[in-house]
Amino acid sequence: MSNKKNKNLNRRSFIKNIGVGFAGTIAAAPLLKSHAKKLPEEIKDSLDGKVEVTVYVNGRKFRRNIFPQTTLAQFIRDELNLTGTKVSCNHGECGSCTVLIGSDAVYSCQMLALDADQKFITTIEGLMKNDELGEVQKAFVDKDGLQCGFCTPGQIISAYALLKKNPAPSEEEIREAMSGNLCRCGAYPKIIESVDAAAKLLKK
């Protein structure tokens, strides 16, 4: 199956599943039956309505069958069990779920996992260097750029994305780049210090 064809299927079955969700019926998609035919009977049920997605997360390739309405955040947490990525608002308002796609920081709760098909993703776990903290993580520890720690993975990913694009940001640039990540504990002054310190660590 070509990539293009696969995409079309994904979109159609996505719409179908949303429909099922809203109507709350179990008039399961006739569309999907034709695909189900090819599957062994015993796994048919669990795959009903699922589509395949392939992503490269933290340097590893993952292929999974998922419901098309699965968000990237759900996919990362539930399918890949990478629970460092948090979901705080699920509406693209707080930044707790920030991950890198390529070199861009994105809100993973606002993206379908399907739209990340074939993409390269980095989560907080991917910033680790084996068992050691990466530079940005180290800077957040040393400068105490956190309190409760729940928004921290998102903050660190946003900081990392900034520093990849701008290795020596001014304080204003740090504030701008980090303004999409809420910290209710209000560790902001120390987050600014942390990003500044991370820039210096990365330069070394």
Question: Using CB under 8 A as the criterion, which residues of the chain lie in contact with another protein when the complex forms?
Answer: 21, 24, 26, 69, 77, 82-91, 93-94, 96, 123-125, 128, 133, 137-138, 140-142, 144, 146-153, 156, 174-176, 178-179, 181-192
Question: In whole angstroms, how close is the CB of 2 to another protein at the nearest point?
Answer: 30
CB of 20 to another protein, least distance (A): 8
Dihedral Cα 73, 74, 80, 82, nearest 10 deg:
50
Region label for 88, one of left (φ > 0), alpha (ψ between -120 and 50) or beta (otherwise): alpha
Report the residue number, 7 or 29, with the smaller CB distance to another protein.
29
Nearer CB in complex with another protein: 117/125? 125
CA 202, CA 5: separation in Å to the nearest integer?
Answer: 42
Q: Least distance (Å) from another protein to the CB of residue 204? A: 18
Residue 128 or residue 168: which is nearer to another protein going by CB?
A: 128
For 162, phi and psi rounded to 5 degrees?
-60, -50
Exposed (0-12), middle (13-18) or buried (19+): which is 183, by Cβ within 10 Å? buried
